């Protein structure tokens, strides 16, 4: 184990480490703590110049109610779900198929296709912006959540395919071969032998894609214009423009927008980290 | 597929192994081609035109690129992109340092690790708003701290000298968290016997880290490099939320500059925007090629 376990150090150092941990965490999360405290600060505090002292009272209920009552943030959140959930289902479903194809079959162009998916994942969004916006307009899907879903599904399929393919490669190939010898069709091998084993990969990818797509801001501004389809990231930015200097509202809105992916992360932490660190341990 | 078997059993049985991969690939590949692959070529094509997004495209050859050469904003963006790239790489050693700090087994360490990872889960829009508030003159925590330390206040996001660094600092926060989690996983999987053997031989501290531990962390470092380089060149959200490229365009980066040109309130210049995107794409391709070549050689060795 590296560094040396703290238990081997003197009690003095151990106590110091245990003291340092919460202190370091406090400093690390200072911007977040500041926003969280501001979101429950009475509006009067800000007017009186009490920006980062102890709040004069708890106004969490008022501030959060005001955010939901006076702004369309509820609608924005709903739109984000309308974009995120179908994208997760679509991208994971498509990549189960593509990942299986690239992991199990040897055919000409296999590696080229695989690296095309990998490379697609790294390209700058801007090179896609004009044509994708144009295509979405032509399909009549501009300014709809569906337009965003289709693009996200296609783009995320790149990352998901990389993930699924590597996961299936790690499964024992003998399972598939013995099924083939028994004459099981390729589709049934996928459906009844491989797919059940892919549950952990599906879970990991779902949380990751949920977070990526929920937090997308660029496409939300390029493919959507009106409130009725706007996801919460773009919505929050436009609200920030309206709430000039109303930092208690901006803060409360930020917390609301950040909550779903944060909740997702805490609920599915193991899967999330397993997905994110894929490849960090071996080749 | 059961139908295919009944109607043409011979053909399907013989060619199942050959056809199956393409059938499995078809839906995903189709989406990918329509939304990712084809648009790349369309963008390159559009970059040779003058186009407002609605009317006829007018062929102007290299006109957009010639205009870029004389565009001062282009050089500002390019320069800022290089600053982003270089400073963003700091998140790799920073992430390693945090990971080493947290790689202990004391009560509650799991929760600490999750909370340190927190900034990465939050949307960059929210991170941008947080840091805008952090930097705000008069009342922001950072400006107050600076005033207390130096007696002078600096409006970071309104000052041409500091604005890009201020935004990058905001970006380093989630990126360091990302690198940290990669290294924590890497540290979890290093070979303890090698470390112990090196300790027996008297290696410790920085030497042990450099010669024994870091080589074993190479896969984590590689992934951290990939995501950091790509992340730095993709920077858009923070610039858009924190400054919209200002003051006077001094915090622009190529990705934001492109967006502004193509979809600005002063009229759409899709061709010019596409040309900027192509330049950004070419810069990225250098890195993407390097990454892919490395991954490919690993794939061949596997």
B215-227, pLDDT tens digit by residue?
999 989 999 999 9
- Which chain A residues are closer than 8 Å to B17 by Cβ? 105, 186
The sign one gets for the Cα dihedral B36, B42, B48, B49 is: negative
pLDDT in tens, B228-277: 999 999 899 999 999 998 888 899 999 999 999 998 766 789 999 999 99
pLDDT of residue B142: 83
CATH of the domain at A217: 1.10.3720.10
Q: Quickly state the pLDDT bin for A241 (edges 50, 70, 90).
A: confident
Higher pLDDT pick, B60 / A283: B60
In a domain, A29, yes or no: no
In a domain, B210, yes or no: yes
pLDDT in tens, A79-94: 999 999 999 999 999 9
Domain count, chain B: 1
CATH of the domain at B110: 1.10.3720.10
Instruction: Determine whether the interchain pair B20/A101 forms a contact, defined as Cβ–Cβ distance below 8 Å.
Output: yes
pLDDT of residue B207: 87
Instruction: Determine whether the interchain pair A24/B101 forms a contact, defined as Cβ–Cβ distance below 8 Å.
Output: yes
Higher pLDDT pick, A19 / A48: A19
Nearest to A282 among B40, B121, B219 (CB): B219
**Taking all residues of chain B, what is their mean pLDDT, rounded to a whole number?**
89
Instruction: Give A25→chain B minimum CA distance, Å.
Output: 7
pLDDT of residue A152: 96
In a domain, B5, yes or no: no
Residue of B123, B191, B240 to mutate when probing chain A, most A C-beta within 10 A: B123
Q: Where are the alpha helices (DSSP H) in chain B?
A: 2-7, 9-32, 38-46, 63-69, 72-88, 91-102, 109-121, 124-135, 141-150, 163-188, 192-200, 205-208, 214-216, 218-234, 237-242, 254-262, 270-301
pLDDT of residue B8: 56
The answer, for A266 touching chain B at a CB cutoff of 8 Å, is yes
- Which chain A residues are closer than 8 Å to B125 by Cβ? 215, 217, 233-234, 236-237, 257
In a domain, B48, yes or no: no
pLDDT of residue A278: 72
In a domain, B286, yes or no: yes
Contact B75, B83 (CB under 8 A): no
In a domain, A23, yes or no: no
The answer, for A19 touching chain B at a CB cutoff of 8 Å, is no
pLDDT in tens, B69-81: 999 999 999 999 9
In a domain, B49, yes or no: no
- Which chain B residues are closer than 8 Å to A9 by Cβ? none
CA nearest neighbour of A113 among B300, B219, B21: B21
The answer, for B126 touching chain A at a CB cutoff of 8 Å, is yes
In a domain, B28, yes or no: no
SS3 per-residue string spanning chain A: CCCCCHHHCCHHHHHHHHHHHHHHHHHHCHHHHHHHHHHCCCHHHHHCCCCCCCCCCCCHHHHHHHHHHHCCHHHHHHHHHHHHHHHHHHHHHHHHHHHHHHHHCCCCCHHHHHHHHHHHCCCCCHHHHHHHHHHHHHCCCCCCHHHHHHHHHHHHHHHHHHHHHHHHHCCCHHHHHHHHHCCCCHHHHHHHHHHHHCHHHHHHHHHHHHHHHHCCCHHHHHCCCCHHHCCHHHHHHHHHHHCCCCHHHHHHHHHHHHHHHHHHHHHCHHHHHHHHCCCCCCC
pLDDT of residue B266: 67
Mean pLDDT over residues B110-130, rounded?
92
Nearest to B21 among A32, A107, A277 (CB): A107
In a domain, A6, yes or no: no
Nearest to B40 among A101, A127, A281 (CB): A127
pTM: 0.91
**Taking all residues of chain A, what is their mean pLDDT, rounded to a whole number?**
89
CA B38 – CA A26 distance, rounded (Å): 47
- Which chain A residues are closer than 8 Å to B27 by Cβ? 94, 97
- Name the closest residue on chain B to residue A276, using Cα atoms: B182
pLDDT of residue B68: 92
pLDDT in tens, A253-267: 999 999 999 998 888
pLDDT of residue A280: 62
Q: Quickly state the pLDDT bin for A98 (edges 50, 70, 90).
A: very high
Highest mean pLDDT out of A55-64, A238-247, B112-121: B112-121
Give the number of beta-carbon pairs within 8 Å between A and B. 293
Instruction: Determine whether the interchain pair B213/A2 forms a contact, defined as Cβ–Cβ distance below 8 Å.
Output: yes
pLDDT in tens, A157-174: 999 999 999 899 988 889
In a domain, A70, yes or no: no
Q: Which structural domain, as residue segments, surrounds residue B184?
A: 72-301
pLDDT in tens, A181-240: 998 889 999 999 999 999 989 998 999 999 999 999 999 999 998 889 999 999 999 888
In a domain, B36, yes or no: no
Domain count, chain A: 1
In a domain, A199, yes or no: yes
Q: Which structural domain, as residue segments, surrounds residue A236?
A: 78-276
pLDDT at A122 over 50: yes
pLDDT in tens, B6-58: 455 678 777 888 889 999 999 999 999 999 999 999 999 999 999 988 888 88
Mean pLDDT over residues A60-88, rounded?
93
Instruction: Determine whether the interchain pair B106/A17 forms a contact, defined as Cβ–Cβ distance below 8 Å.
Output: yes
Contact B7, B13 (CB under 8 A): no
In a domain, B19, yes or no: no
Q: Quickly state the pLDDT bin for A46 (edges 50, 70, 90).
A: confident
pLDDT of residue A281: 61
Mean pLDDT over residues A25-49, rounded?
85
Nearest to B114 among A18, A30, A269 (CB): A269
Residue of A73, A123, A138, A241 to mutate when probing chain B, most B C-beta within 10 A: A123
In a domain, A197, yes or no: yes
Instruction: Determine whether the interchain pair B195/A1 forms a contact, defined as Cβ–Cβ distance below 8 Å.
Output: yes
């Amino acid at each position: 184990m590296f560094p040396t376990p703290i238990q081997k150090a003197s009690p003095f150092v151990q106590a110091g480490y245990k003291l340092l941990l919460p202190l370091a965490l406090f400093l690390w999360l200072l911007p977040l703590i500041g926003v969280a405290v501001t979101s429950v600060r009475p509006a009067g505090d800000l007017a009186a110049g009490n920006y980062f002292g102890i709040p004069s009272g708890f106004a969490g209920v008022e501030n959060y109610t005001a955010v939901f009552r006076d702004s369309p943030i509820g609608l924005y959140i709903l739109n984000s779900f309308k974009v995120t959930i179908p994208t997760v289902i679509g991208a994971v479903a498509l990549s189960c198929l593509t990942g299986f194809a690239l992991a199990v079959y040897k055919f000409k162009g296999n590696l080229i296709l695989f690296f095309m998916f990998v490379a697609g994942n790294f390209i700058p969004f801007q090179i896609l912006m004009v044509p994708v916006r144009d295509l979405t307009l032509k399909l009549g899907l501009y300014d709809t959540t569906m337009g965003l879903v289709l693009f996200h599904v296609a783009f995320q399929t790149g990352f998901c395919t990389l993930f699924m393919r590597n996961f299936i490669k790690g499964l024992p190939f003998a399972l598939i071969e013995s099924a083939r010898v028994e004459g099981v069709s390729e589709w049934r091998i996928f459906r009844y032998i491989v797919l059940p084993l892919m549950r952990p990969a599906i879970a990991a990818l779902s949380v990751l894609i949920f977070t990526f797509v929920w937090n997308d801001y660029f496409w939300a501004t390029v493919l959507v214009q009106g409130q009725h389809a706007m996801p919460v990231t773009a919505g929050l930015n436009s609200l920030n423009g309206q709430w000039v200097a109303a930092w208690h509202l901006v803060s409360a809105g930020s917390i609301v927008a950040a909550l779903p992916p944060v909740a997702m992360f805490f609920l599915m932490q193991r899967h999330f980290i397993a997905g994110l660190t894929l490849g960090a341990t071996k080749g | 597929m059961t139908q295919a078997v009944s109607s043409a059993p011979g053909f399907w049985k013989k060619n199942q192994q050959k056809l199956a991969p393409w059938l499995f690939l078809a839906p995903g590949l189709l989406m990918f081609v329509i939304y990712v692959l084809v648009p790349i070529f369309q963008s390159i094509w559009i970059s040779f035109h003058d186009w407002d997004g609605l009317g006829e495209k007018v062929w102007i050859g290299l006109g957009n690129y010639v205009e870029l050469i004389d565009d001062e904003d282009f050089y500002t963006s390019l320069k800022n992109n290089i600053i982003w790239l270089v400073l963003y790489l700091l998140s790799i050693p920073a992430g390693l340092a945090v990971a080493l700090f947290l790689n202990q087994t004391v009560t509650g360490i799991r929760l600490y690790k999750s909370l340190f990872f927190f900034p990465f889960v939050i949307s960059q829009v929210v991170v941008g708003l947080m840091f805008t508030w952090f930097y705000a003159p008069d009342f922001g925590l950072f400006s107050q701290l600076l005033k207390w330390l130096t007696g002078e206040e600096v409006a970071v996001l309104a000052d041409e000298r500091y604005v890009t660094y201020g935004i990058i600092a905001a970006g380093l926060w989630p990126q360091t968290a990302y690198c940290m989690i990669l290294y924590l996983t890497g540290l979890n999987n290093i070979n303890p016997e090698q470390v112990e053997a090196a300790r027996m031989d008297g290696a410790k501290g920085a030497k042990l880290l450099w010669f024994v531990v870091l080589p074993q962390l190479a896969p984590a470092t590689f992934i951290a490099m990939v995501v950091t380089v790509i992340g730095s060149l993709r920077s858009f959200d923070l610039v858009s939320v924190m400054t919209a490229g200002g003051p006077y365009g001094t915090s622009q980066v190529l990705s934001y500059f492109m967006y502004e040109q193509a979809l600005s309130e002063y009229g759409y210049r899709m061709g010019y925007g596409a040309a900027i995107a192509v330049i950004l794409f070419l810069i990225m391709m250098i890195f993407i090629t390097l990454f892919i070549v490395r991954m490919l050689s690993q794939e061949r060795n596997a």
